[in-house]
Chains A and B, each alone.
Chain A
Amino acid sequence: MSDTSCPYDPFKDVRKQKGIHIGHFDGEEIPMILRYHDVRSAAKDWATYSSDTPFRVPIPSEEDVRSYRQLPIETNPPDHTEYRELVEPLFRRPQQQDYIEEIEKMIDRLLESKLRAGIPVEVVSEFALPLQCKALTRLLRVPESEADTWLLWGMHPFLGEDRQEKGADLERYLERKFIEAKQSAPGDDFFSILAHAEFRGRPLTLDEMMGFGNLAFAGGRDTVINMVTAVIGYMAEHPEAITKLRENPKLIPTAAEEFARIISPVSRIGRTCPTGAHVAGHTIKPGQRVALTWASANFDDSVFDAPDEIRLDRKPNPHVAYGFGPHVCLGAPHARTLIRSLLKIISIRLERIDLLTSKQNRLAGPNIDRHGYYDSLEVRFLGLKSLASNGDR
Chain B
Amino acid sequence: MPKANVTFEDIGITVTVPAGTRLIEVSEKVGAGILYGCREGECGTCMTRIVQGAANLAEPSVLEDRVLKDNLAGRDIRLACQAQVLGGEIVVRPA
Genuine A/B complex: no
Listed in ascending order, the chain A residues whose CB lies under 8 Å from chain B are none
Listed in ascending order, the chain B residues whose CB lies under 8 Å from chain A are none
